[in-house]
Structure 1
């Protein structure tokens, strides 16, 4: 031993280390991880008894002590005193005080804080993911309901911030629905990585004892054990996968929120939020401020930023057990999910409450000549012109109608005949009534009945697929809940049997 170590008379913990590291970690553990550690102790005990690593008498003594601790210790009321390193050692000390040092110390056979830590971190993360997925399904249901209700409600679709073409609100929401379905699938896939149990890896390489890792995973409600023991204590892809998926979810949701705020502006007025969602100005009595969209935008940004922070912490970290991937990093992730739940609840409510203002849509469609593309298409189909020539005629008509501040269906026919004769050298076959019908927004939508289009038949087929996807997500969530409920009941039953000497 070196001279520095020989002469080192300092005592653990140093006061600064205690306050900056140990106390925050203890408080985080008692707040977030106490219940998960309780379940881990129970499941590990059952496995040790069932495999014969502990005999029935030893198991009974430990089980009775664990049950007593659950009744006698309130984690929320604990205060860190610095006399133990962390929450795990505090609970082990309490176990030894009740079961005896020798018997109490036997619970830690064939395990390590390494595999315990990653197991309780996963156990704490899974219900948070499940709450997030439940809120996603609620939003998905609201989007499908609203899109179905407003399947035929016209809106102005914008590109580059300018009016482009008419479509329907149902068609616009269907685009959001499809992205949300893919986001839910990404989160469910990431959840599958979280749902693999690390317990039994011990420090790194499993154990020389005849442990049953499958039994522990089953008792804790995991889908299966995580196979490679080094991966159990070193891999962080369960973190990077879930928080990458979470960041994408809220990045994607933030984009239509931007549209909704633009649509609800005084100048556009396409989307109306009822008074229950509108705040007033403290000085300007005429103001209606649809502030949910502002909150949705900045809360979505917070969710994205906090989720990305978790992923960034993993960058260039060693491929081994390390504190970077443990409690305090997880707490940042919990904040991302918590703020994300606020986004999902608020967005669900605003989707259900918001309504399209048909009068403002009609005005904006009229002023923008947004149906003019169909004129070019119609000239190709009906007059046999090339699309480029049809496009030039349509552009002339649009310029003339906009210059007179007119309405394309009612005021555009004279400009159309003039442009057509100029480019083609003859009169068009269509009369004024046919022209008005052909450039109407209703016709524009109706003829776009191809796969993925806004016409009713195309949308109805899409909605059927969306409902099927939602039903599948609901069934998957039910299956997981039933598996976890059965595991909890089995764990409760076996611990009490063991406590009785059974």
Structure 2
């Protein structure tokens, strides 16, 4: 190595080559590195580049709106060709645009001002240089930012997160339907309890998740454009004859957003806190599924289908680890940590404005990224499961004591019907079953000696743990 090249090599204080000096960018975080492919769709909505593109879009649409509606004297309608060329600034926004904006911001030290200058540079080529002063007219930076974030979050939720989450819920629902009649021993407090079906338990999760998706799908994405402190002061001072509230509402709604009529300098972000709470609740329910499935795998209810060529352990060759669910758990927890922080932080702003929301909102994509990654892992993990019906059946057959509930309830009903000898049903079953294993023969012997009516005795003698599932199978129909 020549002395010139050697001198250019950057090293860390420990003497190692500095990876940060690599010609190719090396990701600091896992979402932009190891897991980039799983979360890539969010880049188009929640990255810094996407935020800048949305800022350009809002500025362009505001310019077109003001001219199309003759809001300012002398700024009449643009031609269709001029409008098309303005909108092309957005549709043709690319890597070169990102670089140019970064160069402008390095001078302005203000991201939104850089966007204003970026658009202004392009007006002469469109033949509307005289309207340069109309770019960002009457706006504070937050007028542009709040609308841009609303558009970005709306797009990310509706185009990326909701379809992925809905697809997973559909997958869980299909599993519930497929296993609706597969009996399974319940475990309340970790102990054998009244049997259910695997399908019904999966249906419970699917139903819970669907409710959260319904809430998310009904989110109102709010926006405002009303000036430095939400009073339209500059608007009225410059064009006093215009109905600025109507203009503001009409413009915000033209973007597909819900107008917020009362704000300080910032849109209050309450809608964001509401949305993030719903997404976090979805995450928590999904986390519950992960821990349950992990536990079912550990007791053999699910077998994992090995992936050809994959390694479960670096030292124990037999292992097939439930890594998809463990990975999902971790990512759901990280996502919720961020979502909870965003929800708590964004609803508070000192007096009419502080900048805590600016830094906070740059992590929205990270929060959704970890959730999206978890959804992907759960979906893949579920595909690699095989229901071990033989293990489920064997577990039921070794826990006949769970029929104690059914027997004592039948005894209560018999007592009410006037059958003699049905006293203290709960206590008698407690003596027989509490903390003890009871096999089929012992349980049936006990039933035969109770003196039940012939019909009740026959019904109980025909009952097995695998048949003691009530209407669990029918309950899966609620998913339809």
TM-score range normalised by the length of the shorter chain: 0.7 to 0.9
Equivalent of 2:223 in 197, 203, 225:
197
Cα distance per residue 1:32-64 (max 9 Å; x no partner): 312211221221112111221164678569858
Equivalent of 2:182 in 143, 146, 153:
153
Please say if residues 143 and 226 of structure 2, whose CA atoms lie closer than 8 Å, have aligned partners that are also in contact. Answer: yes
What is the rounded CA distance, in whole Å, between the counterparts of 2:340 and 2:394 in structure 1? 42
State whether structure 2 residue 403 is matched by structure 1 residue 371: yes
- State the partner residue of 1:39: 57
Equivalent of 2:248 in 213, 235, 250:
213
State whether structure 2 residue 376 is matched by structure 1 residue 345: yes
Query: How do 1:103-122 and structure 2 match up within 5 A?
Result: 103-122=131-150
What is the rounded CA distance, in whole Å, between the counterparts of 1:397 and 1:126 in structure 2? 59
SS in 2 for 1:363: helix
Q: TM-score, normalization: structure 1?
A: 0.72
What is the rounded CA distance, in whole Å, between the counterparts of 1:59 and 1:75 in structure 2? 24
Name the CA shift for 1:234/1:385 in 2 (closer, same or farther; >3 Å): farther
Q: Which has the higher helix share?
A: 1
Please say if residues 299 and 340 of structure 1, whose CA atoms lie closer than 8 Å, have aligned partners that are also in contact. Answer: yes
Name the CA shift for 1:85/1:162 in 2 (closer, same or farther; >3 Å): same
What is the rounded CA distance, in whole Å, between the counterparts of 1:140 and 1:153 in structure 2? 20
Q: What number of residue pairs does the alignment pair up? A: 410
- State the partner residue of 1:144: 173
1:137, CA displacement in angstroms? 1.3
What is the rounded CA distance, in whole Å, between the counterparts of 1:287 and 1:77 in structure 2? 48
1:253, CA displacement in angstroms? 1.5
What is the rounded CA distance, in whole Å, between the counterparts of 2:391 and 2:248 in structure 1? 64
Name the CA shift for 1:358/1:30 in 2 (closer, same or farther; >3 Å): closer
Name the CA shift for 1:99/1:203 in 2 (closer, same or farther; >3 Å): farther
What is the rounded CA distance, in whole Å, between the counterparts of 2:228 and 2:460 in structure 1? 78
SS in 2 for 1:163: strand
What is the rounded CA distance, in whole Å, between the counterparts of 1:370 and 1:219 in structure 2? 61
Q: TM-score, normalization: structure 2?
A: 0.75
Greater shift in the superposed pair: 290-299 or 89-98: 89-98
SS in 2 for 1:293: helix
Query: How do 1:165-180 and structure 2 match up within 5 A?
Result: 165-180=194-209
Name the CA shift for 1:104/1:315 in 2 (closer, same or farther; >3 Å): closer
Cα distance per residue 1:134-177 (max 9 Å; x no partner): 22211221122111111101112111112212101121112112
- State the partner residue of 1:459: 476
- State the partner residue of 1:13: none
Higher relative contact order (CA 8 A, sep 6+): 1
SS in 2 for 1:261: helix
Name the CA shift for 1:33/1:133 in 2 (closer, same or farther; >3 Å): same
Cα distance per residue 1:314-368 (max 9 Å; x no partner): 3753253331222x21122221111101122222333454333121112222223
Equivalent of 1:320 in 352, 366, 386:
352
What is the rounded CA distance, in whole Å, between the counterparts of 1:145 and 1:388 in structure 2? 46
Please say if residues 349 and 356 of structure 2, whose CA atoms lie closer than 8 Å, have aligned partners that are also in contact. Answer: yes
Structure 1, unpaired ranges of 5+? 1-27, 421-425, 465-502
1:85, CA displacement in angstroms? 2.4
Equivalent of 1:290 in 322, 335, 340:
322
Equivalent of 1:238 in 271, 295, 319:
271
